[in-house]
Structure 1
Amino acid sequence: MAKILMITGDFTEDYETMVPFQCLLACGHTVDAVCPGKAAGETVKTAIHDFEGDQTYTEKPGHNFALTATYAEINASDYDALVIPGGRAPEYLRLDASVLDMIRHFFEANKPVASICHGAQLLAAAGVLKDRTCSAYPACSFEVTAAGGTYADIAVSAAVTDGNLVTAPAWPAHPDWLAQFMKLL
């Protein structure tokens, strides 16, 4: 089974954090969920994003998600794969050079990476999308193309794989996104 790193932060999308975390554990994988500046046992706040017919998603308070490892103590080379949830966390995590270095490690080593929704903001900031096909929440299509990638405009319930990268627009794609990711594991 794989040892998987999940990089998350405050106001990560609730489903996009908890569902893959629990699913991958249930399938026998080890998942270390980390957040810069926080230690194992501390929590990040989540936000629930829903699609209720408005011009964009709505946002409601979610749960507290317990981190399982201490960010300052991890080494990306110890992991077989990476998961990047969406939500609001990627917009500020992309300002952390150590996060971007970790993401680059997974691409340089050609390890599986699963990113969903606003996770594409981290991929773009890390400079790993050039000549790649990447799905994301439609509002992040600009970041994908500005980073040299091709934005995959797919159904909200679909996912796309390009080499070691599996991406999806939002949490309704969990079944397809996680199935494609687990094939790479």
Structure 2
Amino acid sequence: MAKVLIIAGDFVEDYELMVPFQALGMVGHQVSVICPDKSAGDKIKTAIHDFEGDQTYTEKPGHLFALNADFAGTNADNFDALLLPGGRAPEYLRLNPQVIALVQAFAQQQKPIAAICHGAQLLAAAKVIKDKKISAYPACAPEVALAGAEYANIEVDQAVTDGLFVTAPAWPAHPAWLAQFNKLLA
């Protein structure tokens, strides 16, 4: 089974961290979750985003998630794939040069990368999606396009795979997104 790295941070979208962490572990993958400046056992706060008919998603407090790996010393060479959840965390994680270097290393090594919702902000900042078809939360469409990718405007419960990238607009896509990612991990 594959070793999957998840890069998360405070106010990561709860479902987009918890569901992949649990589902990928359930099918036998080893899943490590890291956050800059934090170690295994440290906790991050999550946020629950929902679609309740407003012009954008709503946000509610989520859970405390205990990290199970150290950010310091993490190397793409030790993993088979990368997963980038959304929420507000990617907005500031993309400012961290070590995070960007990790994303770039996975892309350079041609390892599968799954990103959902605002996770595409990390792909765009890392400049690894040129000429790819990439989905994301619709508010991230301009960033996807500015990074040289084609924004995939798909239904909220769908996902798209282009080469090593598996992307989706938001957590309602978990069944499609995780199935497509798991296929690349086989």
Task: State the shift of 1:62 in Å.
Answer: 0.2
Corresponding residue for residue 162 of structure 2: 162
Post-superposition CA distance 1:12-40 (Å, at most 9, x none): 00000000000000010101100000000
Corresponding residue for residue 141 of structure 1: 141
**Secondary structure, aligned partner of 2:44:** strand
Task: State the shift of 1:73 in Å.
Answer: 2.7
Are 2:93 and 1:100 aligned?
A: no
Which whole-Å CA distance do the structure 1 matches of 2:46 and 2:114 have between them?
Answer: 19
Poorly superposed stretches of 4+, deviation over 2 Å: none
Task: State the shift of 1:125 in Å.
Answer: 0.3
Q: Normalised by the size of structure 1, how large is the TM-score?
A: 0.99
Are 2:132 and 1:132 aligned?
A: yes
1:32-71 to structure 2, matched below 5 A, reads 32-71=32-71
**Secondary structure, aligned partner of 1:73:** coil
Corresponding residue for residue 85 of structure 1: 85
Q: Counterpart of 2:47 in structure 1: which amino acid?
A: A
Q: Counterpart of 1:153 in structure 2: which amino acid?
A: N
Task: State the shift of 1:129 in Å.
Answer: 1.3
Q: What are the ranges of 5 or more consecutive residues in structure 1 without an aligned counterpart?
A: none
Which whole-Å CA distance do the structure 2 matches of 1:76 and 1:184 have between them?
Answer: 17
Which whole-Å CA distance do the structure 1 matches of 2:19 and 2:96 have between them?
Answer: 25
Post-superposition CA distance 1:122-158 (Å, at most 9, x none): 0000001110110000000000001100000000000
Which whole-Å CA distance do the structure 1 matches of 2:131 and 2:155 have between them?
Answer: 21
Q: Counterpart of 1:101 in structure 2: which amino acid?
A: A
Corresponding residue for residue 173 of structure 2: 173
Q: What are the ranges of 5 or more consecutive residues in structure 2 without an aligned counterpart?
A: none
Task: State the shift of 1:85 in Å.
Answer: 0.2
Q: In angstroms, what is the RMSD of aligned CA positions?
A: 0.5
Between the aligned residues of both structures, percent identity stands at 66
Task: State the shift of 1:74 in Å.
Answer: 1.5
Corresponding residue for residue 19 of structure 2: 19
Which whole-Å CA distance do the structure 2 matches of 1:182 and 1:50 have between them?
Answer: 25
Task: State the shift of 1:76 in Å.
Answer: 1.4
Corresponding residue for residue 121 of structure 1: 121
